[in-house]
Structure 1
């Protein structure tokens, strides 16, 4: 296959056939060039993705995490390289450790149990809006230190910020940014400790000085965006796999210790984050392709997770899978800081769903409708019935 491929990861046509197209490109050429969006290289193998994420000096994050770039509020630490990245991340990482996230398990479990009880009594539900989109905004609000009931408000703000940035509606974008900034600033002004992320940011110092309002806003905005949509899709596709993979629910009910392995395999098969981007600094050689300074590289995580050189029977859902080095959470210094919170939410949903409604099934005639976008992938609906 030629190095040239008119690769368009934003084409809605790609969504239902993404893995077939990725396999065709990856198997013919691990790194291909596209002229779309100003030109970029797409890395589709597991090896190439790991090479790029393992070398932040050559492959910089300062050009933005998406192709095409979305120019809005600068969001530390994801849009910075070391040492700035390291300093920003250190401010908040304590709250996102496994132990830090575990503090919120009783609350999140109660919320999921109560919501499922309501849905089961009703008899049917679309589990994307009713459950997958219900939990993550509350979870990220709680760990940030914001009122749980405000979760839907700031998710709406971030959605509007992204939409107006993409459409170029600068006046509306500025208005939304001012609303959100005022909201965040109000809570930052009230913080007096460091027992939540807002406290960490409000009291944090960078290079010996307090964070600026724009730095604070950017960090909060990033955490809300990264902690919401990606986890929504992770939960939604997991519920779908539980219902459609033969014998999976029975195996998990018989051996709940397999649930973490199931979560990893669900994330591998349908990675919520499909692509991330880097910018070449000073030139590079990637899989034998010479890359010039300032060229853009798209890391196709969804393709790397199906690489047959790493994963045996990559198109099958295998649980337990003996070796599963998937890159659904990324890799290297920018590996998702909210990984443990996302895993916790997915585990709680799986455990409570299997305990309260093990016989739920997807509505007759349902056909998966996958989102298509520059970064995330997931189901738009998932109608189910409860016997």
Structure 2
């Protein structure tokens, strides 16, 4: 039984409301929002500190146009939101500085780098599965939440994988904690931990990883301030851990509860790339990215004023029936799928190649090594939904025991 009606929530969206631990109910609210208006207003913005609240873009067409139009809808935060951020972050920059920053990081997400990483990601995934595969039961959320962190820390950041559980916990609390005090304390803890780790790296030999690049690169002839290095490391950790893990957890839960679809992917592995794209569309692990209006602009009959905060709701856009036929069904062989799971425009996700690779290998290895997995009868899956990112924290499964990989 929910506390508010769909219409009440649609009139003033607050993603942290307890009602939204019910994922189906949230998408019912989004349906009302898309039906009623392209832009809803909220007094409880979940990604903006603007006193006047924020506009929420509900439909695919408007979300896509905003993401493409960085000149009117800037990634620079509002003054109030700037006070909560640390450093000159690539996600809060616009061209040309944003393009210079991305150029520095792009090689670490290139197709060639992904090809080299493929066997390593497979090995890391197998090690996680080895923890329980011979028992015939385990928690697939542990694979979803640990694999991206291990890959990121070990092969891109050059930081100890022993740091992964702490950084994952801090990142998750910073985004999804129950109170603002808890979220801010977690951000502070993550900043302090990475500050100390990166400080230690300044006296160590070069490792040709992203930390070295951030420490040594020059943009416009100047090295980055140390606070900017730590801030961007925080951003990359958050993006590299939370979003991929959430999306992968949805896929594992879906396949554990839809045996026919699980078996279909096993019998037709060529469908897996399309299935990954559909999981990214359907799962909605990200529910809002903020933009700040820089000058008067009209879009779909609505006039935005300078300083307005706009939340681009990827998840709602990805369930828009005008773009995706039968949008509330997970159709694993969906052919036309220009989802916004990685955004669009100049700020399209820098790590999309890595996220896709981690996601696909994670699903491949689980299907290969425990092909009859299904939800355990005596335990409940745990879903955390009333937040900006959403996913399963526990997915207990049982299956026919298998052999360890080594």
What TM-score comes out, normalization by structure 2 length? 0.86
Distance 1:70 1:164 in 2: 21
In structure 2, what is the equivalent of residue 49 of structure 1? Answer: 63
After TM superposition, what 4+ stretches of structure 1 lie above 3 angstroms from structure 2? Answer: 67-70, 153-166, 168-179, 365-370
Deviates more, 1:370-379 or 1:100-109: 370-379
Question: Aligned with 2:392: secondary structure?
Answer: coil
After the TM superposition, which residues 213-362 of structure 1 pair with which residues of structure 2 at under 5 Å, given as runs? Answer: 213-245=226-258, 247-362=260-375
Question: Aligned with 1:273: secondary structure?
Answer: coil
In structure 1, what is the equivalent of residue 146 of structure 2? Answer: 134
Q: 1:18 aligns with which of 18, 21, 26?
A: 26
Query: Which structure 1 residue ranges, 5 or more long, are not aligned?
Result: none
In structure 1, what is the equivalent of residue 164 of structure 2? Answer: 151
Deviates more, 1:168-177 or 1:301-310: 168-177
Decide whether aligned partners of structure 1 residues 360 and 296 sit closer, same or farther in structure 2, where only a CA change above 3 A counts: same
Query: Which structure 2 residue ranges, 5 or more long, are not aligned?
Result: 1-6, 46-50, 401-406
Is the counterpart of residue 386 in structure 1 residue 399 in structure 2? yes
Deviates more, 1:27-36 or 1:261-270: 27-36
Question: Aligned with 2:90: secondary structure?
Answer: coil
Question: Aligned with 1:134: secondary structure?
Answer: helix
In structure 1, what is the equivalent of residue 404 of structure 2? Answer: none
In structure 2, what is the equivalent of residue 6 of structure 1? Answer: 12
Residues 73-100 of structure 1: CA distance to partner in whole angstroms, max 9, x if unpaired? 1352001111121111111111012222
Residues 170-199 of structure 1: CA distance to partner in whole angstroms, max 9, x if unpaired? 888667634431211212442536x32112
User: Does the 8 Å CA contact 1:127/1:383 hold for their aligned counterparts?
Assistant: yes
Distance 2:195 2:170 in 1: 10
User: Does the 8 Å CA contact 1:15/1:371 hold for their aligned counterparts?
Assistant: yes
Residues 22-66 of structure 1: CA distance to partner in whole angstroms, max 9, x if unpaired? 01110121211223343111101110100100001100111169x
Shift of 1:370: 3.3
Alignment coverage as a number of residue pairs: 383
Decide whether aligned partners of structure 1 residues 161 and 48 sit closer, same or farther in structure 2, where only a CA change above 3 A counts: closer
Decide whether aligned partners of structure 1 residues 11 and 278 sit closer, same or farther in structure 2, where only a CA change above 3 A counts: same
Decide whether aligned partners of structure 1 residues 264 and 365 sit closer, same or farther in structure 2, where only a CA change above 3 A counts: farther
Distance 1:272 1:42 in 2: 17
User: Does the 8 Å CA contact 1:271/1:301 hold for their aligned counterparts?
Assistant: yes
CA root-mean-square deviation: 2.7
Decide whether aligned partners of structure 1 residues 265 and 227 sit closer, same or farther in structure 2, where only a CA change above 3 A counts: same
In structure 2, what is the equivalent of residue 29 of structure 1? Answer: 37
Is the counterpart of residue 77 in structure 1 residue 62 in structure 2? no
Distance 2:186 2:364 in 1: 42
User: Does the 8 Å CA contact 1:76/1:88 hold for their aligned counterparts?
Assistant: no
User: Does the 8 Å CA contact 1:191/1:199 hold for their aligned counterparts?
Assistant: no
Distance 1:343 1:370 in 2: 22
User: Does the 8 Å CA contact 1:243/1:362 hold for their aligned counterparts?
Assistant: yes
Q: 1:60 aligns with which of 74, 90, 97?
A: 74
Deviates more, 1:274-283 or 1:167-176: 167-176
In structure 1, what is the equivalent of residue 194 of structure 2? Answer: 180
Shift of 1:364: 2.2
Shift of 1:305: 0.3
